[in-house]
Structure formats: C-alpha cells, structure tokens
Structure 1
Amino acid sequence: MKSQTIKKIAKYGLGAMLILAGTGHLTFARKKFRAQVPDWVPLKKDDTVVYSGIAEIALGTAVIAAPKKYESLTGKIAAAFFTAVFPGNYAQYKNRKNSFGLDTDGKRLARLFMQPLLIFWALKSTKR
C-alpha cells in the first residue's frame, strides 16, 4: 500500500475517532468522561465534558474535511488538544478513578502512555 494511502486512512481514522469520542462526551459515555475532569478545572464537570465533546466533534470534522492547505494545521491543533486533555488522564490515575475499564493503577498508568501516541498520530497523519 502506498504511503499516501496509509496516511489518508490514518487521517480519516483520527477524525472518526475524535468524532466518536466527542459524541460519547455528549451521550453514551458522558458519566464516564466526568471521571477524567480534574478537580481544579473551574467549571462544572458535566459542562467540561460537554464543551470538550463539542470541541472533539469540531476537531474531528476539521481533520477530515480541511483542505490540503490546512491539513497540517489541523493536525497540530489536534496534537495540542491531546496535550491539553492529558491532565485529565493524569487526574484519573492520581485520584484512582475507575472509568472506561481503567480499574487498576497499572491500567490507568498505561493509559498515560497512550497520549504521546495520539499526539504522534495527529502530527504524522496530517504532515505535508
């Protein structure tokens, strides 16, 4: 398979994953996402989940639909988003909150190492 085809599949997969996660924030996984909102966030946990869900849907749509000219920019924005939500993953680990099957310290710790992979995925799949 050509590298451009792989890159396109990765980009569309990233966009779809963001849209699905954002939809989960607003519907079927809303309560589970609250476990990842750090206590220091100055908004209500549910509001934070809703706002981040809307952002994820918009970001996923942008990753998929952005013209080639802006493809790299959307990837950088997605990488920044993944960086920005990392404190939520850390808070879930630190506060030992079970959610999304992350019900042991080891699983929650392993999840922390997924974030750099998401950042890499966002940058690599949208790089010009």
Structure 2
Amino acid sequence: MSTHLRTAVRIALGVAMVGAGTLHLTTQRAEFQAQVPQWFPLDEDFTVLASGVVEIGLGAAFVALPGRKRLVGGLLAAFFVAIFPGNIAQYVEGTDAFGLDTDRARLVRLFFQPVLVLGALFGGGWLRRRPRG
C-alpha cells in the first residue's frame, strides 16, 4: 500500500509542478512576479521565468524518471525550502497575489510549504519505515 501511495504522491506532485511552472511562463506570470520579495537581487521577471523552468524540469523528472525519484525528490524538497523565504516575504510585506489578500490567508499558506517538502521527500522515497530487528 505505501508503495502505491508513494507513487501517487510522486506523480501528483510532479504533475502539479509542471502545471505551476507552466503558469509561471504564461497566464500567471504577473501574479508570480508580485510574489518575488522586494529584497531579492534578481529581476522579478527573470526570477519567475527561471523558477518556472526549474519547476517544469523537476516536475517532469519526478514523473518520468521513477528510477531517479530519490535524487529528484531531494532536489524538489530543496527547491521548496529555497523558495520559502519568498513566501515569508509575501506575508511580511503584505503582498496580494493568487487571492491571498489578507494577512491571515498569507499566514495559513506558510504552513503548506512544509507539507510540500514532506511530499517531495515521501514521493522520493526518503521517508520510509525501517524494518524492525
């Protein structure tokens, strides 16, 4: 059962990342630009385009390369950690984007990032029960 669940999480997260990355490059580009922290040293549009390409690549690899799921899951978890300061900045700076137009909504969103990290680690096979004995 856990193998099927792990596979389902890996595929769902991979597909979601490809979708999110595609939105970075197309219809939601301005929304993602609004989420780039004011203090971030790179151009907002470049940041959104680059992170979109990374999301598409990691998502596609998570789905298409099950033999490398551990590596890709670890990279995806690291990516989620790397972008977390942007989510914190959105809360601290009070930036509206994606319907997150209240401090409460932005705060609640922060609690979903660890879920994504755990999902990437679980789907990648990092979180396994050790056999007893």
Q: TM-score, normalised by structure 2?
A: 0.91
Question: What is the percent sequence identity of the aligned residues?
Answer: 48
Aligned residue number for residue 64 of structure 2: 65
Gaps of 5+ in 1: none
* Aligned-partner Cα distance in 2 for 1:109–1:35: 17
Give the aligned CA root-mean-square deviation in angstroms.
1.0
* Aligned-partner Cα distance in 1 for 2:3–2:60: 20
Determine if contact 2:9/2:119 at 8 Å carries over to the other structure: yes
Matches within 5 A, 1:1-128: 2-68=1-67, 70-127=68-125
Could you tell me how far 1:110 is from its partner in structure 2?
0.5
Gaps of 5+ in 2: 127-133
* Aligned-partner Cα distance in 1 for 2:124–2:108: 26
Q: TM-score, normalised by structure 1?
A: 0.94
Instruction: Report which of the two structures shows the higher radius of gyration computed on alpha carbons.
Output: 2
Aligned residue number for residue 131 of structure 2: none
User: Bigger CA drift: 92-101 or 35-44?
Assistant: 35-44
* Aligned-partner Cα distance in 1 for 2:39–2:97: 19
Query: Secondary structure at the residue paired with 1:85?
Result: helix
Q: For 1:27-82, what per-residue CA distance to the aligned partner results, in whole angstroms no more than 9, with x for missing partners?
A: 011110012111222211011000000000001011111242x2111100000000
The size of the alignment, in residue pairs, is 126
